[in-house]
Structure 1
Amino acid sequence: MTLTAAPQHGFLSRLYTGTGAFAIVGRRRLWFGITGVIVAVAIIGIIVRGFTLSIDFRGGTQVSFPVSGQVDTSQVTDVFTKAVGHAPETVQTAGSGSTETYQIAAAQLDNAQISAARSALFDAFHPRDRGGAASESSISFSDVSSTWGAQITHKALVALIVFLVIVTAYIALRFREWAMALAALASLFFDVVVTAGVYAWVGFEVSPATVIGLLTILGFSLYDTVVVFDKVEENVRGVLHTTRRTYAEQANLAVNQTLMRSINTTVISVLPVLSLMVIAAWMLGVGTLNDLGLVQLVGVIVGTYSSIFFATPLLVALKEQTPEIRRHTAKVLARRARVDAGEPADAVPLVAEVTGPAPRPSTKRARRARR
């Protein structure tokens, strides 16, 4: 009996059967390099470009008025800038058809600037009230104080910290093995940094909806990691008592066995998010939903990547630093070398030097055997 390689099948066949044909863990240095580059780009975006905070966080003035005819956001920006002396932070549309409105977010405006902006917007776009008559009163201004913005920012940070503390406690209890807990937390950190980096590079506003979306996708990422690690735990149970496969190979098999499930879950999660961005934001004109849709789309994709290509390879790298895993891996490789050298497989014990000598039979079993 000799060890032979598994037959090579088509890509889809190997993907659906999950037979361990994709060497994900075996190429962990490649994935670590790619992950490092992604994190570096995200951090550069956060440092260089920073975040565009909505007025809910930093305070300011919100201007809203109904649209009369086809108006481009650049036209609204030009008119508002000439009236108040500085450009608005963002100009978005909400609603569609007769209910479509423009939402302008700007720094705090004084009474003179509000009056000038109202007159300029009315003269340029003639917004109409509910009765259909053109009226300056249809242009509404609402202020968000910097104190209120600071409170919202504080609450958002507290919510994020509490979530991370709860997740850390859950991971510590769920994965009683320190390597799994550390790998899961590192994967979660990766998801947060990359999602924040994408937001910084794109320049979308960070609003309360963004924070809610971030907490949602962190939960999704944790769920995906737990699914993969559950399979890893199942596969590596008792791995030290046999020299047929290494810990890394068993972990790689677990990733392959859950790969199709992760892909299906991601596709199912991405479709409604794309619907949110395409139908709600683009077709219906609800521009305020772009920030929520983007954070969920990026988070789902990044969470799937980290659970497959980062969390499990990192787990294996941490485990292979322990003496017992190193010794076991060496014994597995030594056994294979003897088999490749032509020694009969039956003469190469599967449990050699791993579990020690076989236990002696009990007294009752010995008497039964003598009979």
Structure 2
Amino acid sequence: MRFNWNFDYVKGSKIAYAFSIILTIAGIISILALGLNYAVDFRAGSNVDITVSKAITTEQINPIVKDLGVDEGDVQITTGADRVNVRFSNELDENQESKFKQEFTKLDPTASYEVNTVDPEMAKELERNAIYAVLIASIGIMIYVAIRFEWRFAVAAVVSLFHDAFVVISVFSIFRLEVDLTFITAVLTIVGFSINDTIVIFDRIRENMRFAKKNTKADLREVVNRSLAQTMTRSLNTTFTVFVASLCLFIFGGESIRMFSLAMVIGTLFGAYSSIYIAAPLWLALKGKQTEKPKAAAKASN
């Protein structure tokens, strides 16, 4: 038995727009006030990732950090059952790195270390390249959609994509979640997933437009609602599959892909939401103005 997805989705878009605007404003305020919690990939410093055989407390690590001559306020220590992460805002030189390992080995002789150091220039370059990657991908998608469909579809698609990417960035800023290179990979993956879902809906709208009345905005609204109903099962199935896979990666995956998995969980949900309640209704708003122009011109001539 197939579920009947015939609802007035366009009507619900007003609530969706209000929710998205509030979330966007909160994200802008958070980013301006707090910025992003960059990992060592995007800011200068050293990151020491340690695999341990027993639990090590922060109190045990603090004296080691103090002996390095590093300001404790510039060090973030995260401990777990089998991993310890120590992030220094400044770069460790060879002597400091060697001394840290030597002292930590006294706490756990079997510990293994992975040290990543990024200088200020490299951090700025990585941040700049990450922004370029997202922008270039969005521009390429806009050109593709404009060629395959029309400019109104392209505008609606890109607004939806920026919405998805910015929502994920906002959530990470508000909750002070760590932003690293895997996060950028997740954002680009989310953009690809979202545009795929949006293209399917737009393709169905275009097909239905061939045989539908297009005299009024109400006619276009009916086309959008019918197209969304026809693609809803496919959209939900795809979203559910990606969401479950991402959630399992977040729960059972390693620490190195945890932020990637979390970004995918958030982005997958908002990607499906924006395709239905942002992209399609926005196209309707833009297309509806085209149907209103002849009426306005007719009234003016009379």
TM range (shorter): 0.7 to 0.9
CA contact (8 A) 1:273 1:297 kept: yes
CA distance in 2, matches of 1:190, 1:77: 42
Partner of 1:236: 209
Counterpart position of 2:174: 201
Match of 1:252 among 225, 228, 231: 225
| One of 48, 52, 60 as aligned partner of 2:45 | 60
SS state at 2:85 partner: strand
Show the counterpart of 1:109. 92
Alpha-carbon shift at residue 223 of structure 1 (Å):
0.5
Q: What residue identity is the alignment partner of 2:146?
A: A
Which amino acid letter does the alignment assign opposite residue 157 of structure 2?
A
Post-superposition CA distance 1:159-178 (Å, at most 9, x none): 223212211211211222x2
What is the SS of the residue equivalent to 1:61?
strand
Q: 1:23 to 1:208 in 2, by over 3 A?
A: same
TM-score (normalizing by structure 1): 0.70
Distance 1:163 1:92 in 2: 37
Contact 2:37–2:173 (CA<8 Å) still a contact in 1?
yes
Letter in 1 for 2:198: T
> What does residue 153 of structure 2 align with?
180
**Pairwise mapping of residues 65-80 of structure 1 onto structure 2 (< 5 A)?**
65-72=50-57, 74-75=58-59, 78-79=62-63
Whether 1:42 aligns to 2:33 is no
CA-to-partner distance for each residue in 1:164-204, whole Å, 9 max, x for gaps?
2211211211222x222211111111111101101112222
**1:46, CA displacement in angstroms?**
1.8
Q: Structure 1 residues 180, 326: CA separation in 2 closer, same or farther (over 3 Å shift)?
A: farther
Q: Match for 1:26: what amino acid?
A: K
1:230, distance to aligned residue in structure 2 (A)? 1.1
1:121 maps to amino acid: F
Q: What is the number of equivalent residue pairs in this alignment?
A: 291
Sequence identity percentage = 28
User: Residue 164 of structure 1 corresponds to which residue in structure 2?
Assistant: 138
Q: Say which SS state the counterpart of residue 240 (structure 1) adopts.
A: coil
Structure 1 residues 32 and 142: CA distance shift in structure 2, 3 A: closer
Asked if residue 146 in structure 1 is aligned to residue 120 in structure 2, the reply is yes
- Structure 2: segments with no counterpart, 5+ residues: 296-302
**Cα RMSD for the two superposed structures:** 2.8
In the alignment, structure 1 residue 298 sits paired with structure 2 residue 266: yes
Mapped to 1, the partners of 2:222 and 2:147 lie a distance apart of 26
| Contact 2:77–2:84 (CA under 8 A) maintained in structure 1 | no
Structure 1 alignment gaps of length 5 or more:
1-11, 130-137, 281-285, 328-371
Q: Alpha-carbon deviation of 1:211?
A: 0.8
| Bigger Cα Rg | 1
Q: Is the 1:52–1:203 Cα contact (8 Å) retained in structure 2?
A: yes
Tell me which amino acid in the other structure corresponds to 1:143.
T
Deviations 1:108-140, CA, capped at 9 Å, x for gaps? 2346654664455344x23326xxxxxxxx556
